[in-house]
Structure 1
Amino acid sequence: MGRTMAGFDICHFERRFVRQLASCGIDLAAAPAIGVAVSGGADSLCLLTALHRVAPAGLAIRVVTVDHNIRPPEESGGDADFVEAYCRSIAVPCRRMTIPPGTVRELARRRGSGIEEAARSLRYDLFARFMEEERVSFLCLAHHRDDQLETIIMRFLQGAGTEALGGIPAVRGSYVRPLLPFSRSQIESYLAALGIPFRTDKTNADTAMLRNCIRARIVPLLDRELPGWQTALLSLAAKMRDDDDALRGLAAAACRDVAFSQGGACVRMDAAAFALLPRAVRRRLLYRAVDAVGARCRVPYRLIADALDAPAAGTPWHGNAAGIEIRCDGADIFVQKEQKVATESGFFVIVKEVGVYAAGCWTVQVERSGDGLVLTASGTPGSSTICIGNLGFPFAFRSRQCGDVIRNASGTYTAVSKILDGWKCGDSRDLVPVLQDFRDAGQQLVCIWGAAAGFKNWLVKV
């Protein structure tokens, strides 16, 4: 190894690469196996090549390549063929994982997201499966310095906060990015010096995609008009990461203050304690809650901004967007997936004291009885009275939700939908109330009140 191709120093490049691996926590001498994601483009071919050349004897390198099937077969499948052939030439095992045709577009349609976002989601699902099945501790990804700059610009234009403006992390969980300090030019020069070809994705020229537009139009403009902008932007990202670390710590501590608790697909926080926090921390807690309940696409900031000040107003508030619902009843804040039931009968009410409550087609009277509660429900489906000794305030009287489970006699859990199917509830399944205990972090269901609609009851025994 030495200087070739107009003086490009291969050894220097590879020494920097080894140092970057070490800074990502990878000790080549100690690692038994390392995974590498390879698409066939210059960046991932460089990553694999450099790793193969610097790897000590005994280090197993395992490659994964994903065929997304969103381009013509000769392009998408051709990339995977190319990766497999290159891996054979250097005696590195390669696993080809294929996403069935139409899957990416269908996921994008269901989520209301872009094709690239849906493809990324499916790709990372396959990466996780690859790491588990191949027993690799790390998966190396080929993001580089130009990707970092483009990402920061893109997130700035999308109105991102400190976490996103920190850019692409060098390490996130089991994913490591050892090429982040290297430019696209350096990467291509390295491959040219070694005489290694690579594939080019034709969609990279489509400037209708924001990232491609930034790469083709905005970056050349900045290079021409603002010398030094790249260093300044990377410095900004470093500062944002520092700020993000501080805010992350404050938000973690604030979780205790607001009694942040999750039960199923619902997060609850104390509204009064929430209102006393700095606005930046409140925003973090809302985003944390949104992530916890499993948002499947980006939630617009409008919803978060509207929810930030709702507790201070002291009046009930409700908002929803992108499949996420946030509401405040004056005392508590709830963040959950937006409920979409098959009929018009969905209902939900939080019961915090003795009284009479309206919920959809139901009227519920709540009274105390010893250490428990007596509930009487009346409505179009029927009427029923039930005494529950293991229920206290607050609790929810509501219709079923997708993913609801309830404890059975053996201590395991059964899907509520399965129980209702067993009762042959048919079109009345969304009229059957369930009772959810909000007194602790688990927020477990304690009753399927089937008798109210003419069916059986399912009570959780304490």
Structure 2
Amino acid sequence: MLAGVSGGPDSTALLSVLASLASDLGFSLYACHVDHGIRPAGEREADLAAVRALCAGLGVPLDVRAIPDGMCEREAREGGRSLEEVARRRRLALLVEAADAAGAGFIALGHTRDDHRETVLMRTLQGAGPRGLAGIALRRGRFVRPLLGASRAEVMAHLAAEGLSARTDASNADTRFLRNRVRLLLLPALRRAVPGWGTALSELSRGMARVAQFLDEEAARLPWKRCGTGWRIDRRAFFTAHPALRVHALLHLADRVPRGSQPARLSHRFLEPALGADPGPGSRYLIRGHGLALRSDHADLFWGPDIVSPSEKGYLFPVPSFGTLNIEGTGASAAFRLGLNPRPGETAIPVREVVPPLVLRSRRKGDRIEGPSGSATLKSLCGAWGVPRVLAGLVPVLVDRRGVLAVLGTAVGGRTATRSDGPLAGEECLLVRVTGGAKERRA
């Protein structure tokens, strides 16, 4: 098991408890500390020093991961998303990488009962549905939360009993963040005005969790079929289902669709068009935004990434920070992850070179790449690589806000070219690996 440890009270208590249980329960324990690159350098260094001392005292191996300074803030600003959400997604992605490196099957997080209740209250204020009102799950995939039944007061009592100290994050007092506004401004008033509010909110979340589970089971009965990177369903089958089931199915499948490195949480208002009557045959967009589209195509509906420039050969997909995209028409796929050390066959692009958002698209007339050795057209590169003309239009091109970032020619029997002259030692990179494709089919 790998524990995410920030150095704060909750994660410090989490690691302490897990370390005391590891031998008796027979599991290996690892820790990972993620530096988000947001707070002042001095505070972050003190956090890391505290975590190192804690892990050394408990005899737990520590893996340290870092997000480049300013990256979370830049992505939040350019993507119109909250800094909290961007940092959370980046952190979880790095924890998954660390767990994979350690061979850990589970990732433990330090959320408490107080965090759970705050989350349910936040989701209520944001107009969430059953999934959001279910709050924080005890387990979701590889992520587990052993302290979810404990209060924040019980965590502090454990630290005092064990003689452990913890770091205090000054940003927890910053009311720019919704969770802090709820914790510091709303909850004190709620405690005074509504005694027992916490118990009532916990009961609400348990009820909503049961509703969400029921909707998950019913949504699985709808005849969705995988279609590229999205999903297809008979239009009449979709619109004869209950409206609540339609929305829940779209939310459920959206989590499995690649739509950019930091996808926004979808609101029920955004999905309202799915609640209406069957629009009948024809080709039209019913929902479009957040990198997603619900498109009517005569007898079928397609729910998946919003392909901005569809054509007979063309494609364009938002790139996830980690995950795999199938490259249409080539028989290849591109896997993306963030990391420090490229594996064999991976192309390493320094994160400092990337200006989000990122898309993977087919080659276009006039495309050029400004590489370390000068400028070249993609057409000339394909010729130099010996890519057949019939496949040249399908060459996957990785593009950011500044232009062509990389040409993934291995998908069609060529090579790879990037805008960068390569990463520095220990530098975080976007790592891309292309598998399958024309070259392998001819072999």
Question: Please, what TM-score do these two structures have when normalized by structure 1?
Answer: 0.67
Q: Aligned Cα RMSD in Å? A: 3.2
Identity, % of aligned positions: 35
Contact map agreement 2:129 2:268 (CA 8 A) in 1 = no
1:72 is matched with 40
Which moved further from structure 2: 299-308 or 207-216? 299-308
2:306 is matched with 338
1:298-377 matches, within 5 Å, as 298-309=265-276, 311-312=278-279, 316-318=283-285, 319-340=287-308, 346-347=309-310
CA distance in 2, matches of 1:413, 1:183: 45
CA distance in 1, matches of 2:29, 2:326: 42
Structure 2 unmatched runs, 5+ = 318-324, 335-359, 366-377, 384-389, 396-411, 413-437
SS of 1:326's equivalent?
strand
2:424 is matched with none
CA distance in 2, matches of 1:406, 1:317: 22
1:28-427 matches, within 5 Å, as 34-56=1-23, 59-254=27-222, 256=223, 260-295=224-259, 296-309=263-276, 311-312=278-279, 316-318=283-285, 319-340=287-308, 346-347=309-310, 397=312, 399-402=314-317, 405-406=327-328, 417=362, 421=378
* Paired residue total: 344
CA distance in 2, matches of 1:136, 1:172: 15
Contact map agreement 2:232 2:300 (CA 8 A) in 1 = yes
Q: Do the aligned partners of residues 98 and 327 (structure 1) sit closer, same or farther apart at CA in structure 2, a change above 3 Å counting?
A: same
* Alpha-carbon shift at residue 330 of structure 1 (Å): 4.1
Q: Do the aligned partners of residues 138 and 293 (structure 1) sit closer, same or farther apart at CA in structure 2, a change above 3 Å counting?
A: closer
Contact map agreement 1:311 1:328 (CA 8 A) in 2 = no
One-letter code aligned to 1:321: G
Which digits, 9 at most, give the CA deviation of each residue in 1:69-123, with x for residues without a partner? 1000111222112101111122222111111212222332343211111111111
CA distance in 1, matches of 2:200, 2:326: 49
Which digits, 9 at most, give the CA deviation of each residue in 1:337-361, with x for residues without a partner? 2234xxxxx455xxxxxxxxxxxxx
Contact map agreement 1:404 1:417 (CA 8 A) in 2 = no
* Alpha-carbon shift at residue 207 of structure 1 (Å): 1.4
Contact map agreement 2:128 2:267 (CA 8 A) in 1 = no
SS of 1:181's equivalent?
coil
SS of 1:247's equivalent?
helix
CA distance in 2, matches of 1:407, 1:417: 10
* Alpha-carbon shift at residue 310 of structure 1 (Å): 5.2
SS of 2:17's equivalent?
helix
Structure 1 unmatched runs, 5+ = 1-33, 341-345, 349-396, 435-447, 449-457
SS of 1:301's equivalent?
coil
Contact map agreement 2:120 2:135 (CA 8 A) in 1 = yes
Bigger Cα Rg: 1
* Alpha-carbon shift at residue 413 of structure 1 (Å): 6.6
SS of 1:130's equivalent?
helix
One-letter code aligned to 1:158: Q
CA distance in 1, matches of 2:85, 2:233: 30
One-letter code aligned to 2:239: A
Q: Do the aligned partners of residues 433 and 75 (structure 1) sit closer, same or farther apart at CA in structure 2, a change above 3 Å counting?
A: closer
Q: Do the aligned partners of residues 412 and 188 (structure 1) sit closer, same or farther apart at CA in structure 2, a change above 3 Å counting?
A: closer
Q: Do the aligned partners of residues 423 and 310 (structure 1) sit closer, same or farther apart at CA in structure 2, a change above 3 Å counting?
A: farther
Contact map agreement 2:226 2:232 (CA 8 A) in 1 = yes
Contact map agreement 1:39 1:65 (CA 8 A) in 2 = yes
